[in-house]
Amino acid sequence: MQYDSDANRVYVRRTHKRFYLGVRNKFLVALLGAFVWMGLSIWLAQPWVRDLGELTHPAFACFAIGFIAFVPGFMNGFLIFSLLMDNRPPRSPLRKYPGITILIAAYQEEKAIENTLSAFTRSSYFGPVEVFVLNDGSRDRTAEIVRDFIGRACLPPNYTIKLFDFEQNRGKSHVLNDGLAAATHDLIITLDGDCTLREGSLRAIVERLMSDPPLTQAIAGCVMARNPGDSLIAAAQEWDYFHGIAAVKRMQSMYHGTLVAQGAFSLYRKKALEAVGGWPETVGEDIVITWAMLERGWRVGYAEDAIVFTEVPTTIKQFALQRRRWSRGLMEAFARHKNMLFSTRLTGLFIWWNLMFLPLDLAYTFIFIPGIVAAFFGHFWIVGPLTLAVLPLALLWNGVIFRIQKKMYGREGLKVTRNRRGFLFYCFVYTLIMQPVCVWGYLSELLGLRKKWGTR
């Protein structure tokens, strides 16, 4: 056993050697595998491209099939090969845990804020913790509930909770920056007012920061759905968080650049936040500030076992407003950090990956969905027998991710729910809703429509 005083961590010296494939080599292997997979798809789809080109125009056929099948196939192939090679070093326990400041931006959270705060009474973090509840001009009982909780809660002796009760609603970034200015610790955690920390998650996310490479300035936590039983759309989101979002963050962190340290639960170094000017006044403040850190050459990691459960939207309208906001946030990040497109770091691939979302969503919304409708009437111009060729990749992709996530859940003493209806909705209907909503978000940002949070 050896102790590294600079990193404040304990680690075990390994006396045996084993084969190790470096990060860049893993990237090249995954890239090669993805190109081979895409090349095979292009070869198999030549009759599809030719027939659609004769019916419409060759350029339209290449665009449509390219962004319906080839580009998504490349992305999924890269994801699969990367995850199969992921063997991240374990996080190490610390001899002394540093102080942390937790910022909870709250607006109209009377239904959830007490559950969020109650999680701290069960926390097992061993360093000093100050919790700032930043009430952003709520018109409901949020502030009253927080005051009552502070007065009666039996908190661990190393915890303090303070309410910042702002009279006017100014926006999430403003209150977060006020909390940052008042913070007394060097590590800052953001937590949404409708999120519940799992016991041990604070230790896990801090240990991950201390165990990761020195340039790491932020760590994204693992966000899972807390209320999948509330509705069908909520049930589908459980799979989205469990499969899609978690897998992508895990892959991106392998190459030292998780693109979003989400506001729901993430850890930052205070000096890094101050260096980029704090949270920007945008609807996607979390993605914009993450890209600001990546643009400086810093690393953003991911702690897959630092879990928080969040209230996901329970209606189609709430879901659409949330995903519209996320899409606008992506556009804001590109507008403020265009130079990221020319980054020579491995994460540059994921910036271009995100740039592809616009044509992907356009092709899906205005070509693939109408193609599904046409197929019901016997016209297989866009969707037909060849579309079934993507099913093996989809099954493999889901199988790999499920295995990885189930293994992580098992280590944490959690069980994967038997959410079959949500899985079926997620597989066959979810994207039919999400992609058009994303296009709505892109257009809203390009047209300069008024920005608002939209789900309260």
Rounded Cα distance, 328 and 451, in Å: 9
User: Is the residue at 253 inside a domain?
Assistant: yes
- The answer, yes or no, to whether residue 274 has pLDDT greater than 90, is yes
Rounded Cα distance, 31 and 3, in Å: 37
Both tokens of 375, joined, read: 């197929």
Provide the 10 A C-beta neighbour count for residue 374.
Answer: 15
Instruction: Say if residue 40 is in the same domain as residue 77.
Output: yes
CB neighbour list of residue 349: distance below 8 Å, 6 or more residues apart = 27, 31, 255
- The answer, yes or no, to whether residue 18 has pLDDT greater than 80, is no
The per-residue pLDDT for 276 is: 97
From the list 402, 169, 446, 436, the residue with the least C-alpha distance to 319 is 436
Please list the helix, strand and coil fractions of the chain in percent, rounded to the nearest 5, in that order: 55, 15, 30
CB neighbour list of residue 247: distance below 8 Å, 6 or more residues apart = 79, 83, 401, 404, 405
* DSSP character string of 261-321: --TTEEEEEHHHHHHTTSS-SSTTHHHHHHHHHHHTT-EEEEEEEEEEEE----SHHHHHH
The per-residue pLDDT for 4 is: 41
Instruction: Say if residue 267 is in the same domain as residue 205.
Output: yes
What proportion of the chain, given as a percentage, has pLDDT over 90?
Answer: 70
User: Is the residue at 249 inside a domain?
Assistant: yes
- CA separation, residue 144 to residues 36, 163, 356 (Å): 59, 10, 46
Instruction: Say if residue 158 is in the same domain as residue 287.
Output: yes
Burial 270-287, CB ≥16 within 10 A → b, else e? bebbeebebbbebbbbbb
- The answer, yes or no, to whether residue 20 has pLDDT greater than 90, is no
Rounded Cα distance, 260 and 96, in Å: 28
User: Is the residue at 95 inside a domain?
Assistant: no
pLDDT digits (tens, 9 = 90+) for 91-136: 889 999 999 999 999 999 999 999 999 999 888 899 999 999 999 9
User: Is the residue at 150 inside a domain?
Assistant: yes
- The answer, yes or no, to whether residue 7 has pLDDT greater than 50, is no
Number of domains the chain contains: 2
Residue at which a domain ends, from 39, 55, 85: 85
Instruction: Say if residue 120 is in the same domain as residue 159.
Output: yes
User: Is the residue at 37 inside a domain?
Assistant: yes
The per-residue pLDDT for 10 is: 44
The per-residue pLDDT for 6 is: 42
pLDDT digits (tens, 9 = 90+) for 76-91: 889 989 998 988 888 8
Instruction: Say if residue 178 is in the same domain as residue 147.
Output: yes
Rounded Cα distance, 269 and 101, in Å: 10
User: Is the residue at 188 inside a domain?
Assistant: yes
More confident residue, 428 or 290: 290
**Do the Cβ atoms of 44 and 73 come closer than 8 Å?**
no
Q: Mean pLDDT throughout 420-444?
A: 92
* DSSP character string of 47-76: HHHHHHHHHS-HHHHHHHHIIIIIHHHHHH
Q: Mean pLDDT throughout 65-70?
A: 90
Q: Mean pLDDT throughout 210-238?
A: 94
User: Is the residue at 7 inside a domain?
Assistant: no
Q: Looking only at Cα atoms, what is the longest distance across the chain?
A: 74
More confident residue, 385 or 65: 65
Instruction: Say if residue 248 is in the same domain as residue 290.
Output: yes
Residue at which a domain ends, from 251, 280, 314: 314
From the list 249, 200, 203, 199, the residue with the least C-alpha distance to 223 is 249
Among the residue ranges 8-17, 37-46, 121-130, 313-322, the one predicted with the least confidence is: 8-17
Instruction: Say if residue 150 is in the same domain as residue 272.
Output: yes
- The answer, yes or no, to whether residue 286 has pLDDT greater than 70, is yes
Rounded Cα distance, 299 and 405, in Å: 23
**Do the Cβ atoms of 237 and 228 come closer than 8 Å?**
yes
Q: How many helices (H) and strands (E) does the chain have?
A: 19, 10
pLDDT digits (tens, 9 = 90+) for 353-403: 999 999 999 999 999 999 989 988 888 888 877 666 665 666 776 777 788
Instruction: Say if residue 274 is in the same domain as residue 307.
Output: yes
Residue at which a domain ends, from 52, 85, 118: 85
Rounded Cα distance, 186 and 164, in Å: 20
Instruction: Say if residue 68 is in the same domain as residue 104.
Output: no
Instruction: Say if residue 35 is in the same domain as residue 132.
Output: no
The per-residue pLDDT for 378 is: 86
Both tokens of 185, joined, read: 């610790």
User: Is the residue at 353 inside a domain?
Assistant: no
Instruction: Say if residue 105 is in the same domain as residue 235.
Output: yes
Give residue 386's Cα distance to chain centre: 32
The per-residue pLDDT for 3 is: 34
The per-residue pLDDT for 288 is: 97
Instruction: Say if residue 43 is in the same domain as residue 174.
Output: no
Provide the 10 A C-beta neighbour count for residue 12.
Answer: 9
Q: Write out the residue range of the structural domain in which residue 288 sits.
A: 100-314
The torsion defined by the Cα of 429, 433, 434 and 440, in degrees rounded to 10, comes to: 160
pTM above 0.75, yes or no: yes
- The answer, yes or no, to whether residue 453 has pLDDT greater than 90, is no
Rounded Cα distance, 290 and 190, in Å: 13
